[in-house]
Structure 1
Amino acid sequence: MVPKRTLYTGAQIPAIGLGTFGSDRFSGESIAAAVLGAAEVGYRHFDCAAVYGNEHLVGESLQAIMRGGVKREDLWITSKLWNDKHAPEDVIPACKQSLRDLKLDYLDLYLIHWPFRNYHRPGASGTERDPNAKPYSHDEYMETWQQLERLVE
Structure 2
Amino acid sequence: MYNEILDGIVKKLQIHFPEIVTFVNPLGEGVSKPCFQVGITNSEEQPVNGSRYFRSIGVSVKYYPKESENASREINQVLDILMNEFEYVIAEDGSSFKGSSRNGTIEGGILDFQVDYQIYILKSHTAEPSMEHMKLM
Same fold (TM over 0.5): no
Quick one: higher RCO (CA 8 Å, sep 6+), 1 or 2? 2
Question: How high is the TM-score relative to the length of structure 1?
Answer: 0.25
Q: Whose helix fraction is larger, Structure 1's or Structure 2's?
A: 1
User: Which has more radius of gyration?
Assistant: 2
